[in-house]
Structures are given as structure tokens and as C-alpha cells.
Structure 1
Amino acid sequence: MLTGDNLLFVLTLYATIGSGLMAGLFFIFSAGVMRALAQRPAHEGMAMMQAINITIINPAFLTVFLGTALACVPILFFTFGQWDDPGASYAFVGSLLYLVGSLLITAVYHVPKNNALASVSPTTPDGASLWADYLTNWTVGNHIRTIITLVATLLFALALSHH
């Protein structure tokens, strides 16, 4: 039978794995993908990013990205107010960080930039200008969500170590 404590453990384990996978994905974009796209002519790099933004929306990605966010919500409820329990505190803060650093930053910062990129042809002067701005600003935002999501992963792992 799944008790509240067991459910919290399972959710925290899922959140640890999911946030770790997301931190890794974000890191790969910062460390390699965006740099590689920047080395291509603007129209090629932009067209590739447009294709990536379409292709990434798939069941595997959504299961990890949104599934982790969904796991964080009950973790917040289970752990709220349990400040004397280090494991609960780590899980609570890890959940907040994932929801803000991964989900919220993606929704309010990266998705609008991706939508703007999708609305412009890579072969136009507007496309080249938008791409230059996108390369810099999108990537800086990605560095931020990488760090926050990595810290969330570490906090989830610490929470598991106190279980």
C-alpha cells in the first residue's frame, strides 16, 4: 500500500530524475547546441532552431518536463511547514526552484522567444536580426534555468538522502 511517506519518496525520486534530465538538456543547449548553431550562417542556424523547437514537443520531453512539474506540486503540499525535517525542506525548496527555474522561466521567457522566432522567415533581414538577438538573450536565459534546475536536482537528491 502506498502511504503518504512512500508517495512523497516516489514523487521526490521522480522529481530528482526529471529535474536532472532537464538540467542536462538545458546544459547541452548552453554548452553545445547554441554554440554550434551560432557557427552556421544565420539562416541555417535559425532554421535549425525552428526545427528543434517543433521537434522537442514530443511525449518523451513532455513526460519529463511537465511530469516533473506535476510531481513538484504534491511535494510542496506534503512538505510545507515541515521546516524541522531537512529532507522535507530540501524537497520543498527543490520543488519551488524547479517550478520557477524550469517551468516558469520556460513559459514566460523562452516560449515567447521561440514563438517570435517561429514567426519570421530565416532568409529575411528581420530573421537575421531576430536570430542575432535570440542567440544571445535566449542562451543567457537558458544558462539561468540550467543552474536553477541543477540546484533543484541537488536539493531533491539531498531530500532523498534524508528519507
Structure 2
Amino acid sequence: MDRIVQSLTLFSSLGAGLMAGLFFTFSAFMMSVLAKLPSAQGIATMQSINVSILTPLFGFIFSGTALACVILAIFSFTKWGGAGMGYLLAGSLLYLIGCVLVTAVFNIPLNDSLAAASPNSVEGVELWNRYVVSWTAWNHVRTVLTLASLASFILAFRKLF
């Protein structure tokens, strides 16, 4: 059992780190670069990114880490009070809330509305201006919470192994 928990904790650390890096990239410079483009180009580029990112590898990292976090959260409850269990639970919940929930509730619906927009329309330009601000703000939340998840998993790993 220790080997499984160790492997899941390592996998979750790596997954949270990869997702945090992706989110950080968009928060730190990608969205500001896209916002500087003419609106039609920014819309078309982000529409392309939103389609292109949906690869099996991305799905494996995003969803696989979520599944590992669910297992680790349950495990941390069964061993509550043991060394590192608080960090393990925190890392799991931070990933599930910060990455999965925020993405599902905020970023995906924004992406869906952008996907339906015509890049050359007045409505598309207005949507784009709102999208950049709102999507980026929620992406900042994802960045911070997945980084906190990574930090929690690192602390859990130190306590557990």
C-alpha cells in the first residue's frame, strides 16, 4: 500500500506541477500577447488553442491527476492523524478545486462561448474583450491553487517517505 500511495503522490505532484506550469504560461504572458493582437486574430488563435490542447496526453495529465487526487483524498481520511495526511488531503483538494472545478465551472464555459463567436463580428470583438479579462482572472486562480497543490504534495512526500 505504501508503494501505491508513494507512486500516486509522486504522479500527483508531477501532474499538478505540469498543470501549474501550463496555467502560469497563460497568466504570465500568453493572454497578454493574445490581447495585443487584433481581436479577430486573438479570437481565432485562442479558438485554435482550445481545440488543439485536447490531446490524449493532456487528458491523461489533467484527468489522471484528478483521479489520483480522489484516491489520495480518500486514503488521507482513512489514515487521518498520520504523518503527512493533512498535506496529502490539502494537495488533493487544492488540485480538485483549483484545477478541475475552476476549469469546469469558469474556463470551459468561457471557451465554449468563444468557440461560438465569429472572429470578425462586432459581437465577437465585444465577447473577446470580456473573455480576456474573465478567463485570465480565473486562470490566475488555477495557477495559484495548482502551485499550492504541488507544494502540499511535496510536503506530504517529505513527511510520508
Task: Tell me which interval the TM-score lies in, with the shorter structure as reference length.
Answer: over 0.9
Q: Does 1:67 align with 2:64?
A: yes
Q: Partners in 1 of 2:79 and 2:133 — Cα distance? A: 41
Q: Which of 84, 96, 101 is 1:99 aligned to?
A: 96
Deviation at 1:81, TM superposition (A): 5.1
> CA shift at 1:153, angstroms?
0.3
Which of 27, 31, 39 pairs up with 1:30?
Answer: 27
CA displacement, residues 73-127 of structure 1 (integer Å, 9 cap, x when unaligned): 1101111154422412101111011000000100111000000000111100000
Tell me the residue number matched to 1:150: 147
TM-score, with length taken from structure 2: 0.97
- Report how far residue 32 of structure 1 moved: 1.2
Runs of 4+ in 1 over 3 A off after TM superposition: none
User: Residues 35-114 of structure 1 correspond to what in structure 2 (within 5 A)?
Assistant: 35-80=32-77, 82-114=79-111
| Aligned match for 1:13, one of 10, 25, 30 | 10
What is the alpha-carbon distance in structure 2 between the residues aligned to residue 11 and residue 81 of structure 1?
A: 16
Aligned-pair identity (%):
46
Give 1:89's aligned amino acid. G
The count of corresponding residues between Structure 1 and Structure 2 is 160
Aligned mates of 1:5, 1:38 — CA distance in 2: 47
Aligned to 2:157: 160
Match of 1:137 in 2: 134
Unaligned runs of 5+ in 1: none
Aligned equivalents of 2:26, 2:109: Cα separation in 1 = 18
Return the alpha-carbon distance in structure 2 between the equivalents of residues 55 and 47 of structure 1: 12
- What's the TM-score, normalizing by structure 1? 0.95
